[in-house]
């Protein structure tokens, strides 16, 4: 079974930046779509960003466009989420996931906490 380990979360002031990393083990990720999701307290998990397995298409939630950038490094078996211009409403546990397609995520990490103060 694939294992995903997120890192890079933390506490930042509004307007600050964080770079999340998700390292996969047990499988190489070159054949998988990869994505980031988040869940705020009392809220449902929501889509943030995803990239197709071939890397040709990247999708973002509208509210993070222009602020967040997803990238993948297949050689390192890692996907990243660069988050700039963070806002308090970005506060959530961020999860990475991989799957056979952008709409089918089969494996999930344990999450990393991102807290943005006002």
Rg (CA), the chain: 13
Could you count the other beta carbons within 10 Å of the beta carbon of residue 74?
16
Residue-level pLDDT at 1:
79
- 33 and 52 in contact (C-beta within 8 Å)? yes
Residue-level pLDDT at 104:
87
Residue-level pLDDT at 36:
97
- 48 and 108 in contact (C-beta within 8 Å)? no
Tens digit of pLDDT at every position of the chain (118 positions): 789 999 999 999 999 999 999 999 987 888 899 999 999 999 999 999 999 988 899 999 999 999 999 999 988 999 999 999 999 999 999 999 999 888 889 999 999 999 999 9
């Amino acid at each position: 079974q694939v294992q995903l380990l997120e890192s890079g979360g933390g506490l930042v002031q509004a307007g600050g930046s964080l770079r999340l990393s998700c390292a996969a083990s047990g499988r190489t990720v070159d054949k998988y779509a990869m994505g980031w999701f988040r869940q705020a307290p009392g809220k449902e998990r929501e889509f943030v960003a995803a990239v197709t397995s071939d890397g040709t298409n990247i999708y973002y939630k509208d509210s993070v466009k222009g602020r967040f950038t997803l990238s993948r490094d297949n050689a390192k078996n890692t996907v990243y989420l660069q988050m700039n211009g963070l806002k308090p409403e970005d506060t959530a546990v961020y999860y990475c996931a991989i799957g056979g397609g952008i709409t089918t995520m089969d494996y999930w990490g344990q999450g990393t906490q991102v807290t943005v103060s006002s």
